[in-house]
């Protein structure tokens, strides 16, 4: 059964081949895709904020890059993935409104991507594909079969990383 699981905002999920994970309309949020191409296990997180330690109300694990990534890696391990051979692809982190300001909250997209790359480095997970920043939304699809990460946009084409 080729299952499709939709990962919502502040959500994460894991699937095995031939399944597919998708998240619709990533804006300033970041989509973190991990996959193990040997055991064919994929995981996708849709995070809203970079750092749970900066926020008082931080019980929602999938909302933050730091806590979501740890949970995602563990869940994938439980589904049969080898944590040592995981590869990552990252999408999203757009600045939807072109505020020319130093206002921290308006740069949240960049900060989400920075936090993701930093965490992945700490876990020694190589980033093999990336489509981040700019000012438009992205729908992404992650295929467990081969780690293919399809990125669809409105007016900026569709591509595969």
Partner 1 sequence: MSNFMKYNAMHFDTLREIANIGSGNAIAALGKMLGHKIRMSVPVINLVDFKDIAKFIGGAENIIIGILVGISGEINGIMMFMVKQDSAANLLDILMGSAGRAGGAERDVLNFTEVEHSALTEIGNILCSSYLGSLSSLINKRIIPSVPMLSIDMANAILSVPAIEFGKVADQALFIESVFQAETQNVSGYFLLVPDLPSFNLILSSLGVE
Count of residues in the chain: 161
- Least Cβ distance, residue 105 to partner 1 (angstroms): 7
Q: Return the closest-CA partner of residue 16 out of 37, 34, 36, 42.
A: 42
Supply 37's token pair. 């191409």
Q: Which helix (H) or strand (E) holds 121?
A: helix 108-122
Which C-beta is closer to partner 1: that of 29 or that of 86?
29
- Least Cβ distance, residue 76 to partner 1 (angstroms): 21
Could you list the residues that contact partner 1 (CB under 8 A)?
8-11, 24-29, 48-49, 55-57, 59-60, 63, 94, 96-99, 101, 103, 105-106, 108, 135-139, 154-155
Which C-beta is closer to partner 1: that of 28 or that of 132?
28
> Which of these is catalytic: 21, 29, 76, 125?
29
Q: 29 an active-site residue?
A: yes
Which C-beta is closer to partner 1: that of 51 or that of 145?
51
Which C-beta is closer to partner 1: that of 58 or that of 79?
58
Q: Return the closest-CA partner of residue 114 out of 128, 100, 130, 102.
A: 130
Sequence-separated (6 or more) residues with CB below 8 Å from residue 98 = 135
- Least Cβ distance, residue 101 to partner 1 (angstroms): 8
31 touches 45 (CB < 8 A): yes
- Least Cβ distance, residue 36 to partner 1 (angstroms): 26
Burial status of residue 5 (CB atoms within 10 A of its CB: 0-12, 13-18, 19 or more)? middle
Angle, alpha carbons 59-11-29 (nearest 5°)? 95
Q: Which residues are catalytic?
A: 29
């Amino acid at each position: 059964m080729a299952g499709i699981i939709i990962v919502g905002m502040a959500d994460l999920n894991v699937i095995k081949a031939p399944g597919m994970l998708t998240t619709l309309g990533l804006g300033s949020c970041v989509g973190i895709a991990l996959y193990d191409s040997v055991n064919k296990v994929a995981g996708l997180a849709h995070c809203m904020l970079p750092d749970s330690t900066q926020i008082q109300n931080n019980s929602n694990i999938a909302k933050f890059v730091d806590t979501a990534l740890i949970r995602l890696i563990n869940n994938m391990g439980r589904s049969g993935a080898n944590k040592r051979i995981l590869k990552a692809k990252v999408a999203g982190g757009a600045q939807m409104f072109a505020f020319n300001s130093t206002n921290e909250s308006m740069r949240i997209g960049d900060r989400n991507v920075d936090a993701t790359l930093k965490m992945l480095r700490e876990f020694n997970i190589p980033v093999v594909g990336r489509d981040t920043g700019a000012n438009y939304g992205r729908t992404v699809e992650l295929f467990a079969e081969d780690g293919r990460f399809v990125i669809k946009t409105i007016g900026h084409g569709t591509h595969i990383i």
